[in-house]
């Protein structure tokens, strides 16, 4: 009971905070909960496992329920096509949603609508006057990864004669439109519409598209402005984050590993800037580690870090950490990297064999062959038994053939160029291979059934 009550408090606080913006919104995202699949008003696009809702950071730095599209199948990767809602074709409606893409630019974020007559026929028209069976405001790549953008689209009244679209994609930091979006208009027999936002043709389960705050408003002067949607608090963020605390966790003759903690902000820390000897070394996202490379042996460097927020306010510099790149691990002014507990010796730095550096995000790099009796890979991703779930959307052989002809490799598998550039992750590759084996097994079962049915029909005749 205590945990259920806590969730209710969190949800109540979230929706009261946005009550001014929620007023007259034709959609009701208060039905969102922590979980997976569909919720009232928002039927899922794709499978249950491709639609996950969890507490995460919203566009304003607050903790809120975020809908996440996680690619598993090629043609659908999460999101929704909402329930239909009634409209008045003599009025203009504005559709919005926040989206943020993580990890890679694979697949497309799709933001669109539908309009219907009383018989369920398509009635949305482009500004040229032609009926559109798939009215999409915008579909493509977000301008940058790991950053929220506000998507805005319009369906104008049926007598609208304008030919210039006014929708677009907005940067919440600058408030500027960074991409254009196509507008549509109703037909005189339009009676209902839908809100659509989903991830299409994602190829990697690590590539996540985040969704937040969908709205549909009648454009009548009572709807919140774009500026209010971008900044619901109504005031600019001018308060910088607090300074982080920096430390060095290890170094080699050419690298230095840095980590930091402790930075806070009234809205939310969104990134960090690393400085070497007072000069900007790197601008990072919301991470807490960095490896400086290309250092000269037996040379001392001074590093500092500044925290930044979504309004690009910078903290004062962290404490300075001096690092001397040395010929042996743990040399210079850093702390010793070896420790021993009982019979176990632990190394806190990175290990490079046959190489002078370890790529960012890894602990060990071996440039050469490796012999071992056994390798165990522990996976956090879903093992592909989801292929045998009833709602799994098995790609047809025609879809697979088309994908091979267009891209030269199987759907949801890395290309030869990607493997050459990035290598392969054994655990992930085994998961993908098993997914293909299970899909192939289903196709064989279906083909066997068709053959048996064909034989039976000929025996009867």
Burial profile 168-198: b = 16 or more Cβ within 10 angstroms, e = fewer = bbbbbeeeebebebbbbbbbeebbbbbbbbb
Choose from 159-163, 339-343, 386-390 the range with maximum mean pLDDT.
159-163
Burial of 208 (0-12, 13-18, 19+ CB in 10 A): buried
For residue 409, what pLDDT band results from cuts at 50, 70 and 90? confident
Residues in the chain: 461
Contacts of 336 (CB under 8 A, 6+ apart): 330
**pLDDT confidence of residue 331:** 42
The residue that leads in pLDDT, 415 or 98, is 98
Sign of the CA dihedral running 52, 80, 171, 140:
positive
Q: What is the mean pLDDT of residues 9-33?
A: 63
**pLDDT confidence of residue 238:** 75
Quick one: which H or E segment has residue 243? none
What is the pTM assigned to this prediction?
0.52
Each domain of the chain, given as residue ranges in start order, spans: 2-230, 245-366, 384-460
In the structure encoding, which two tokens stand for residue 100, read together? 């943020």
Burial of 450 (0-12, 13-18, 19+ CB in 10 A): exposed
Average pLDDT in the chain = 84
Is pLDDT above 80 for 189? yes
The pLDDT tens digits for 224-269 are 888 889 887 665 667 889 999 999 887 777 888 999 998 888 777 8
Q: What separation, in Å, do the N-terminal and C-terminal C-alpha atoms of the chain show?
A: 66
The pLDDT tens digits for 47-101 are 999 999 999 999 988 889 999 999 887 666 899 999 999 999 999 999 999 999 9
CATH placement of domain 245-366: 2.60.40.10
Quick one: which H or E segment has residue 389? none
Is pLDDT above 60 for 14? no
Q: Give the 3-state secondary structure of residue 424.
A: coil
Q: Which CATH class is domain 2-230?
A: mainly beta
For residue 18, what pLDDT band results from cuts at 50, 70 and 90? very low
**pLDDT confidence of residue 81:** 95
Residue 79's nearest CA partner among 210, 176, 204 is 210
Q: Which residues pair with 169 in a beta bridge?
A: 151, 179
Which residue in the block uniquely carries the two structure tokens 């389960």? Answer: 205
Question: What is the rounded CA–CA span in Å between residue 230 and residue 52?
Answer: 25
Question: What is the rounded CA–CA span in Å between residue 44 and residue 198?
Answer: 9
């Amino acid at each position: 009971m205590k945990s259920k009550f806590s969730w209710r408090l969190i949800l109540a606080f979230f929706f009261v905070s946005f009550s001014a913006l929620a007023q007259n919104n034709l959609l009701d995202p208060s039905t969102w909960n922590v979980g997976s699949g569909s919720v009232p008003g928002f039927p899922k696009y794709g499978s249950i496992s491709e639609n996950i809702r969890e507490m995460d950071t919203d566009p304003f730095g607050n903790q809120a329920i975020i809908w996440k599209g996680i690619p598993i199948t090629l043609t659908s990767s999460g999101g929704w096509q909402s329930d239909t809602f009634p409209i008045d074709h003599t009025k203009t409606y504005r559709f919005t949603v926040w989206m943020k893409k993580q990890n890679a630019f694979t697949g497309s974020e799709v933001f669109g609508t539908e309009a219907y007559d009383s018989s369920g026929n398509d009635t949305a028209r482009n500004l040229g006057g032609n009926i559109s069976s798939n009215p999409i405001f915008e579909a493509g790549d977000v301008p940058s990864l790991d950053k929220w953008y506000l998507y805005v689209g319009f369906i104008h009244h049926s007598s609208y004669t304008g030919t210039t679209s006014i929708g677009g994609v907005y940067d919440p930091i600058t408030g500027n439109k960074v991409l254009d979006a196509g507008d549509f208009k109703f037909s005189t027999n339009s009676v209902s519409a839908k809100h659509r936002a989903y991830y299409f043709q994602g190829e990697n389960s690590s590539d996540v598209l985040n969704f937040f705050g969908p709205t549909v408003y009648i454009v009548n002067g009572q709807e919140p402005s774009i500026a209010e949607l971008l900044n619901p608090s109504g005031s600019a963020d001018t308060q910088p984050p607090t300074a982080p605390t920096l430390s060095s966790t290890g170094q080699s003759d050419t690298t230095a590993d840095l980590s930091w903690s402790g930075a806070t902000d009234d809205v939310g820390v969104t990134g960090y800037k690393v400085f070497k000897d007072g000069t900007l070394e790197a601008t990072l996202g919301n991470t807490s580690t960095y490896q400086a490379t290309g250092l000269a042996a037996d040379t001392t460097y001074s590093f500092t870090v500044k925290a930044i927020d979504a309004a690009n306010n910078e903290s004062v510099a962290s404490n300075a950490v001096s690092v001397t790149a040395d010929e042996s691990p743990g040399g210079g002014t850093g702390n010793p990297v070896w420790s021993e507990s009982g019979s176990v010796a632990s190394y806190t730095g990175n290990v490079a064999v046959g190489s002078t550096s370890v790529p960012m995000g890894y602990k060990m790099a071996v440039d050469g062959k490796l012999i071992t009796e056994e390798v165990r890979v522990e996976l956090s991703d879903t093992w592909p038994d989801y292929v045998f779930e009833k709602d799994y959307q098995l790609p047809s052989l025609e879809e697979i053939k088309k994908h091979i002809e267009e891209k030269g490799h199987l759907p949801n598998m890395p290309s030869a160029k990607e493997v050459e550039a990035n290598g392969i992750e054994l655990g992930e590759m085994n998961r993908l291979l098993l997914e293909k084996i299970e899909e192939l097994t289903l196709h064989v079962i279906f083909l066997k059934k068709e053959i048996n049915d064909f034989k039976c029909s000929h025996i009867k005749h």
